Structure 1
Amino acid sequence: MNTKIVQSRSEVLLVGGGALSDDALALALSAAGTVVAADGGAARVLAAGRMPDAVYGDMDSLSEAVQARLAPGVLQRVAEQDSTDFDKCLRHIEAPLVLGLGFLGARLDHQLAAMTVLARRPDRRCVLVGENDVVCLCPSRIVLDLPMGERFSLWPMAEVRARSEGLRWPLEGLGFRPDGITGTSNAVIGPVRLEMAAPAMLLILPVAHLGALRAGLAAAPRWPAQAGGGGVRA
């Protein structure tokens, strides 16, 4: 079948099957215009009283009974097994921002897979929201308004260089890499400005600053799609 692309001029809520409280989902759904579910996440969206606009995945985590409850045209089966359901969703959404709930927490392997997808698809701007943290791929430039002393962490997905203002430990002159220098547990000492040489650095903030991150991303330039279908590069 031809799998449709969800196109939106506003933020899209993407719901997965990982750790997610009913209250957090209800709050996100109340503000969402377009809702997409990844495989078993559809059951959660339906249970919360909302019909998703699209459901992507191989449907190995979605029962036939739940599939039968979906409106015509909502189910978009992607049968290949070479990517995660999160990847299947993200590559079929075109929006200024995708807010992903249910992809952090519970299983570490699922979290790592989701964060790899963020780096693999830099042109798809997405923030993953967990109980304690939010994480996204750093754009080439971003300005963030954050409280003094706040925790500020970076994690390289590949070798990458960066510049910063407003952090206790500046980034300039350091070669970041997953098996070398990383950037966790930094702290804010003023207005934060970041510059990244490549789409290979994850930004991790306390969930309380999701609004500030949204604002910063809205004004930040977007990375182009990676040649050859993705993959982190330095």
Structure 2
Amino acid sequence: MPIGLFGGGEITSEDVSLVLNRVKSAVAADGGAAALIDSGRIPDAVIGDFDSLSSGHRAQIPADRLHPISEQNSTDFDKALRNVIAPVVLAAGFLGARVDHQLVAFNTLVRLQDRPCILLGAREIVFHAPPQIRLELTAGDTVSLFPLRRVTGRSDGLEWPINDLVLEPDGRVGTSNRALGALALEVDAPGLLAILPRTALDQVMQAFLSGQTGHWPARAG
């Protein structure tokens, strides 16, 4: 089953409800527990270094649901994502506000390439593109592809196909493309972020849950 993951960044009550309506298990990354508790839901687990979890919220969480990780070499998002196992994680509270927090979240998506995760934003969703994915988008939907590593791939259903292109973070990128309708995307290697309208969330979740997207292996080391 998919898992909901909640962070301490920008998150609305609508975001909380949207995620909880699509998952059974709710995990908080440190201070992300506040949004859950304030909505009336006690997290099933809280993972992090607990430097942003208030004493008042912590007191409401059973002790066996608290999983502290004290090391300071990773973010709470990283700590949480690497310690949950699910066909897909739906994460809210990790986009918006500080740009550095967003950048490190994108970095985490690509480093933990074997952990499918969809970041929920105010208007968009962001996920690490799997080996292949097929979606029924609306003609005119914005489809942005941003590489964090050098990647190649193929597309069917984009106004500007990526076939025969090399995408890389300091070279050609694929932002502000447009869907013609149904979209088929294949990627030859991990490292490509896909950014789609928030309305595509359920389709992307179902694609991962179907098992037809393929999976990237865990990185060595």
Is the structural similarity TM-score above 0.5?
yes
Q: 39, 50, 56: which one pairs with 1:48?
A: 39
SS at match of 1:70: coil
Distance 1:66 1:20 in 2: 17
- The residue that corresponds to 2:164 in the other structure is 173
Counterpart CA distance in 1 for 2:56 and 2:75 is 23
TM-superposed CA distance for 1:191, in Å, is 2.2
Residue of 99, 113, 116 corresponding to 1:108: 99
Q: TM-score, normalised by structure 1?
A: 0.90
Amino acid at match of 2:131: S
Q: Letter of the aligned partner of 1:142 in structure 2?
A: I
Counterpart of 1:195 (choices 178, 186, 191) is: 186
Identity level (%)? 45
Matched, 1:76 2:67: yes
**Number of the residue aligned with 1:15:** 6
Moved over 3 A (4+): none
- CA shift for structure 1 position 20: 0.9
Contact 2:11 2:35 in 1 (8 A): no
- Among 80, 84, 88, the alignment partner of 1:89 is 80
Q: Tell me which moved more, 208-217 or 181-190.
A: 208-217
- SS of the counterpart of 2:56? helix
Equivalent residue, structure 1, for 2:125: 134
2:216 aligned to which of 197, 219, 223: 223
> Paired residue for 1:64?
55
Task: Supply the AA of the counterpart residue of 1:222.
Answer: H
Q: Residue 68 of structure 1: CA displacement?
A: 1.9
Residues matched between the structures, number: 219
Tell me if structure 1 keeps the 8 A contact 2:149–2:191: yes
Residue 137 of structure 2 aligns with which residue? Answer: 146
Question: What are the residue-to-residue correspondences of 1:155-174 with 2, within 5 Å?
Answer: 155-174=146-165
2-side partners of 1:131 and 1:96: how far apart? 23
Alpha-carbon distance between aligned partners in 1 of 2:118 and 2:187, rounded to the nearest angstrom: 17
**CA-CA distance at 1:221 after TM superposition:** 0.7
Q: Secondary structure at the match of 1:164?
A: strand
Name the CA distance, whole Å, in 2 between partners of 1:13 and 1:129. Answer: 11
Q: TM-score, normalised by structure 2?
A: 0.96
* CA apart distance, 1:215: 2.4
Moved more, 89-98 or 68-77: 68-77
Name the structure 2 match of 1:4.
none
Shift of residue 142, structure 1, vs aligned partner: 1.1
Segments of structure 2 that go 5 or more residues without pairing to the other structure are none
User: What secondary structure, in the 3-state scheme, does the structure 1 residue paired with 2:64 have?
Assistant: coil
Q: CA deviation at 1:64?
A: 2.4
Letter in 2 for 1:194: L
CA RMSD of aligned residues (A): 1.1
Mapped to 1, the partners of 2:207 and 2:17 lie a distance apart of 25
Amino acid at match of 1:130: G
Give SS of 1:191's match: strand
- The equivalent position to 1:25 in structure 2, one of 12, 16, 27, is 16
